[in-house]
Amino acid sequence: MMDTIKRISGVNPRKCMKCGKCTASCPAFDEMEFHPHQFVDMVENGRIDQLMQSRGIDFCLSCFACVERCPRNVEPAKLIEAVRLAVVRQQGGDHLRPEAIPHLLDENLPQQAITAAFRKYRK
Amino acid sequence: MSVNNEFQPTIVAFCCNWCSYAGADLSGTNRLQYPANVKIIRIPCSCRLNPMFILRAFQRGADGVILCGCHPGDCHYTTGNYYARRRMTLLFSMLDYLGIERDRTRVEWVSAAEGAKFAATMNDFAATIHKLGPNRRLEDLRCRKD
Amino acid sequence: MQRVGVFVCWCGSNIAATVDVEKVAEVLGQEPGVVFSTHYQYMCSQSGQELIQNAIREHSLTGVVVCSCSPRMHENTFRKTCEKAGLNPYMVEIANIREQCSWIHKNKEEATQKAVILGRAAIAKVHLNAPLTAGTSPVKKRALVIGGGIAGIQTALDIADAGFEVDIVEKEPTIGGKMTQIDKTFPTLDCAACILTPKMVDAAQNEKIKIYSYSEVQSVKGFVGNFRVTIKKKARYVDETKCTGCGLCTEKCPQKKVPNAFNLGLDQRRAIYIPFAQAVPKIATIDADYCTMLKTGKCGVCSKVCTAGAIDYKQTDRFIEEEYGAIVVATGFNPIKLDQYDEFAYSQSPDVVTSLEFERLMNAAGPTGGTLLRPSDGTHPKTIVFVQCVGSRCDDSKGKSYCSKICCMYTAKHAMLCREKYPDTDVYVFYIDVRTPGKNFDEFYRRAVEEYGVHYVKGMVGKVVPENGKLKVQASDLLGNRQLHIDADMVVLAAAIEPDKSARPLATMLTASMDTNDFFTEAHPKLRPVESPTAGIFLSGACQGPKDIPETVAQASAAAAKVIGLLAKDSLICNPCTAAPDELMCNGCSSCEKVCPYGAITYIDKEFRGPNRTTLVRRVAQVNPAVCQGCGACTVACPSGAMDLKGFSNKQIMAEVDAICR
């Protein structure tokens, strides 16, 4: 799994020197239980399951502030995107149940988004 | 030089004493691997390389020849590598005329601090020569080993 | 045919582990002309050398091949060994089977085979070696120091102490360098000016030292012992012999809006200026970019007030030629430009300053007179945030990959001084690692934390946003696993340091090599740290790598010791591997003369005997062996093949080629 994440993201977490500039830059800090520098550390040390079960990864805004500011080109946001992708790809990690949909609907929500989300999160 | 009958090219590398030879030493000090086919000849400066030496190497059965010198502007003798560059350009067009593949000869600038670049260059050059196969066009048949 | 002896070195296990040394010795022993072949654990050791010497005597060897480490390491050792046994030192060839064989190959069979081939090439070459005798060249007993910072001053003082003449070339109007801008020095907190200015005065008053201030090196010719250097004395529009340094002109000049470079632009000075009160030499300089008289021809106030009549608007750059035996490079460093780091708002707020600017703000002779005030509104800052590693240890294109080494300590110093002078301030230091290797350094840092209550936070500042006169700092606290939001009054950035921009063109002039960061490289990183690989060029201070003051001074004195060692010699042994023409083949075409970078080749008319008792005068090339450096450019340029290089002759290299391709 660790190799998959590294391959999808193209990130080498070994390059991290643990300066914490990513975490310092992160605008979604309060929303996440794991923070950018921890993502990198967890991938490096193989604690991926914990990361995949975390709801925090969905709160990453992909603003790429961490990628932009990282002095060592580690690109934490790409790691997060790869973890999200791994979650989507795996079977049974559904976050969307058909019976939950009526509550989620509002009239401004485009139809297409529901279809796409359904396709993505129902496997 | 034949280990399990595979084609083992003979590659001659001319290295200037001040930059590239020191760079080759550095890649050794750092234990960076490159193929054993590469044999280095030390010359004082890349401008010492007479194009005749390259022709001689091909004649004697070398499959590739590479010249390494200091980066342009950094020559220990101020201008030596500029001469080398011009001479090699002329030689390249002559080798081309003779029908020698362009990739069999190469010029690379490697400084004394670039041990990693030296090893990478040699690996790449050896792979290129390996792909090109044995050099038969200029080989003097009287020098044939077998 | 030579009688060759082959000596294969094990180098402990360095060679023997991957190369079958016994087999190499055995196979090479069967080469034509080889009369003796052996192997030994350490050929460079005393007993190894004796082994070679005994073999030379017993087997009357005329050539020696040592299969060992790189010739750059021990060629000289073995040459001396053979010389002691009565063999010409240039009858030795080294086959490099360590750096270029055993260390780079893992397969023992392959490595052994390669070692044999390298040995064969060396044997083939040594058969064609001829005994060479080295000439000598005189040493000019004068040294040049480029850069007049603490490194240059210390080197010059030490060389002068030994009784040799030294010239210092400094590009600024005064010597002293970066240390003049520093307030206090770590870890003792003594004031930089108090320890530096006496040294500057010593240098100025020492009769062996000549200071070329506001000058640059224009060109360098020659070689070790005989450098010919052209120094450009930039026009300062003030006659140095007349100016008394009274400073009246610097008070009367009407052009008041010139950014003061000495205070890093934090205040303004006049167009005619003396950088600071203790400047050496204390001579005014006109800044041509701002002087109204030089730009428009209307003003002349300084000329009117100068009682010494020293102002000379017509002064031009002057060039001085001087000969030196040795050159010391002491070009120093600069903090990097921070315009790439906009997340710290350096270009948006004047209250975000670099550490060197902070140094000026704390200095009693600085723009604020030593009171720490915010540059924006002159108020007293209550909360100060220090950010470390700005541009250091960066793997991207914006910064430098190395650690700048001095920032951890000077930031601890700054933080400590702030808390000491103003106990009401809150001081935060954001660090990645605190690196304090040095005498009393870690104690100093711990004092900042324990006694002075500086908040050290493991983490980094992500962004700084100027808002309502405050600086909103968003940072991480990795140990507390939280994000900090601090309303700071001032942010101080510990910018990475880089070599001075003048170093790169200088390196080209000196043919001294540099690394990818533009720091000068040493002849050997551990064993010859103050010498450049180019003979006669020495390194002092931060031009070789980031350094603090004690290290700089230590290296400066080390460089001086090396220079003194060189200048103490009356003559140097030349490289005997020089070019020499075969006069009978030379056709007098001048091709070689044109390519020679040293002007070592001249043409003379020489009388030759022709057939039937006739004589014939022909124009032939002649090489001055004291000037020739042995690059070999002429040997290739020669159309008739008359020019050859001793020690690397056409035949020798061809023989090596043949041996390798065999």
* C-alpha pair distances (Å), C116 with each of C123, C283, C603: 10, 68, 44
Chain A residue numbers with beta carbons less than 8 Å from the beta carbon of C458 are: 20
Instruction: Flag whether pLDDT at C475 surpasses 70.
Output: yes
The residues of chain A scoring below 50 in pLDDT are none
C72 touches chain B (CB under 8 A): yes
Rg from Cα positions in chain C: 31
Closest Cα of chain C to A21: distance in Å? 5
A20 in reach of chain C (CB within 8 A):
yes
Backbone phi, psi, residue C605, to 5°: -95, 125
Task: Please compute the mean of the pLDDT values over residues C457-468 and round it to a whole number.
Answer: 95
Q: Please provide residue C560's backbone torsions phi and psi, each rounded to the nearest 5 degrees.
A: -60, -45
Across the interface, whether the CB atoms of C483 and A65 are under 8 A apart is answered no
Closest CA to C355 of C338, C330, C376, C378: C338
How do residues C499-545 score in pLDDT, each as one tens digit? Answer: 999 999 999 888 888 888 999 988 878 888 999 888 899 999 999 99
Compute the distance between CA of residue C189 and CA of residue C205 in angstroms, rounded to an integer.
Answer: 28
Given this model, what pLDDT does residue B4 score?
A: 56
| Domains of chain C as residue ranges with CATH | 4-127 (3.40.50), 142-234+317-332+500-567 (3.50.50.60), 248-305 (no CATH), 334-498 (3.50.50.60), 579-646 (3.30.70.3270)
Number of CB pairs, chain A paired with chain C, less than 8 A apart: 70
Over residues C590-614, mean pLDDT: 89
Q: Residue A121: its pLDDT value, please?
A: 67
pLDDT averaged over every residue in chain C:
94
pLDDT at residue A105, rounded to an integer: 77
Is C189 an 8 Å CB contact of chain B? no
State whether residue B61 sits within 8 Å of chain C by CB. yes
Got the DSSP string for C374-442?
-TTT-PPPSEEEEEEEESTT--SSSS-SS--SSHHHHHHHHHHHHHHH-TT-EEEEEES-----STTHH
Does pLDDT of C358 surpass 90?
yes
Q: Are C65 and C115 in contact (CB under 8 A)?
A: no
Q: Cα(B38)–Cα(C660) distance, rounded to whole angstroms?
A: 10
Task: Output b/e per residue, C411-441; b: 16+ Cβ within 10 A.
Answer: bbbbbbbbbeeeeebbbbbbbbebbbebeeb
Is there a contact between B51 and C636 if contact means CB atoms under 8 Å apart?
A: yes
The first and second tokens of residue C22, run together, are 């016994």
Which one of C398, C403, C478 makes the best mutation probe of the A interface by having the most chain A beta carbons within 10 Å? C478
| Mean local confidence (pLDDT), C241-249 | 94
* B82 interfaces chain C, CB cutoff of 8 Å: no
Q: Per residue in B46-96, pLDDT tens?
A: 999 999 999 999 999 899 999 999 988 778 887 899 999 999 999 999 998
Pairing of strands C601-609, C352-354: unpaired
Percentage of chain B exceeding pLDDT 90: 66
Residue with the larger pLDDT of the pair B142 and C7:
C7
Q: Count CA atoms closer than 13 A to C156's CA, side-chain side.
A: 34
Name the band, by pLDDT with cuts 50, 70 and 90, for residue C94: very high
Residues of C in contact with B62 (CB under 8 A): 657, 660-661
Mean pLDDT confidence for C211-222:
94
Quick check: A23 and C432 CB within 8 A? no
Q: Does C494 touch chain A (CB under 8 A)?
A: no
Interchain touch A–B (≥3 Cβ pairs closer than 8 Å): no
Mean pLDDT, rounded, for C368-380 = 93
Chain mean pLDDT for chain B: 89
Please write the tens of the pLDDT for every residue from C153-200: 999 999 999 999 999 999 999 999 999 999 999 999 999 999 999 999
Strands C165-169 and C333-335: unpaired
Q: For residue B1, name the pLDDT band (cuts at 50, 70, 90).
A: very low
CATH code 3.40.50 for B11-137: yes
pLDDT of residue B2: 44
A1-19 confidence digits (pLDDT tens): 788 888 889 899 999 999 9
Q: Where are the domains of chain B?
A: 11-137
Q: Domains of chain A: which residue ranges?
A: 2-90, 95-123
Which residues in chain C are contacts of B47 at CB distance < 8 A? 595, 631-633, 636
Cα angle, residue B126 at apex, residues B26 and B108 outer, rounded to 5°:
55
Record the tokens describing residue C646, joined without a space.
Answer: 């001793």
Q: What is A2-90's CATH number, 3.40.50.170, 3.40.50.720, 1.10.1660.10, 1.10.1060.10?
A: 1.10.1060.10
C320-357 pLDDT tens trace? 999 999 999 999 999 999 988 999 999 999 999 999 99
Enter the pTM of the model: 0.80
Mean pLDDT of C227-255: 94
The ipTM value here is 0.94
Chain A residue at shortest CA distance from C343: A69
